[in-house]
Amino acid sequence: MPRSPSKRGQREEKDTTAPQSVARSVHKIAFINDSLLSSNSAEVVRLRNPHTDAGSMYIIDREQKAVHEIMAFDEGFRCWFIGQVVESSGKLHMISPVDVTYLILPYLIKASRTVPLEHLLEDKEFPDISCLDSIALDKDFSHIAENKGTSDLSVWKYNEEKTLAWLSGRVERLSSLLQDKKVPTNTAQSLTYVCPMNPVQAKEAYTVLAHGIIAEYIPPELATKLHKHLKLPDKKVKPKVLGSAENQGAKKQRLEGPMDDYSKDNTAAVKGKVAMSAKEKALAKSAVGSKSILSFFGKK
């Protein structure tokens, strides 16, 4: 009986008939809530980032009336092992809820006139902003704006004083949480070694850290005003050590090295400065006309 073709041969034949360019499957590693996976109204949209003013990806859940941001962490030179597959992209995506107030706040600040919220959320560059209508219409924004007209109209006017007070409360609560969790306040600290600080220094350090986190969700101009409102210290830039002109001259002299030229015969200068004894004068007189001992070892 003729031998049946091997599986290896079938596989090779199938590969030769396949198209030359085959799309490579790309895996995404993400932490996501189960409620979003089971939701029928969750959709991925592109909205204006309130801090960078550029486009960012979000997930809107109309049923839960919630907004989630998609954050990607890419440290570079990382990969994932998924079963028997090595995924070269080592990015890690995290989907976390975000307050819709942060997304609406830039539009309230830039609004030149008071209009209903559904007309305020119009953006030609990011048309998906209209999806926030179903989520924001029932929200109360009295913590950042003043309500104009009846509540049914949902007309709000931006109020900077209320906004700074609301953001200050957020910074204080986040600062307390970070301090309770003993989160390092800078990259120089670690979980095993924490530089001891007094209560005043610790509170200030965690407030600065919390302000930096909140600042990523608001416009830069508002973040600067919040920094001043919280009376936080300015960022210190380490100045260059210049020193006085006298110190600079001394430093330059040390860097240049010895000032004397040892390639020349300075014996005469030394003789003029140092007085010779009678014995030394006699030895010098007797050595006139004699050869140096090094001359016997030179080339002939």
| Per-residue pLDDT reduced to its tens digit, 268-288 | 554 455 566 776 777 776 666
Number of domains in the chain: 1
Residue 224 lies in a domain: yes
For residue 111, the number of C-alpha atoms closer than 13 Å in the C-beta half-sphere is 22
More confident residue, 290 or 92: 92
Residue 31 lies in a domain: no
Q: pLDDT band at 245, cuts 50/70/90?
A: very low
Residue 205 lies in a domain: yes
Average pLDDT score over residue span 180-185? 85
Q: pLDDT band at 33, cuts 50/70/90?
A: confident
Residue 217 lies in a domain: yes
The predicted structure's pLDDT at residue 200: 83
Q: Is the pLDDT of residue 237 over 60?
A: no
Over pLDDT 70: what percentage of the chain? 68
User: Could you list the residue range(s) of the whole structural domain that residue 177 is in?
Assistant: 160-234
pTM comes to 0.66
Least confident of 68-72, 135-139, 233-237: 233-237
Average pLDDT score over residue span 64-87? 87
Residue 188 lies in a domain: yes
Residue 214 lies in a domain: yes
Tokens encoding 57:
């990806």
Residue 169 lies in a domain: yes
Q: pLDDT band at 194, cuts 50/70/90?
A: low
Residue 189 lies in a domain: yes
Q: pLDDT band at 89, cuts 50/70/90?
A: confident
d(CA 121, CA 131): 9
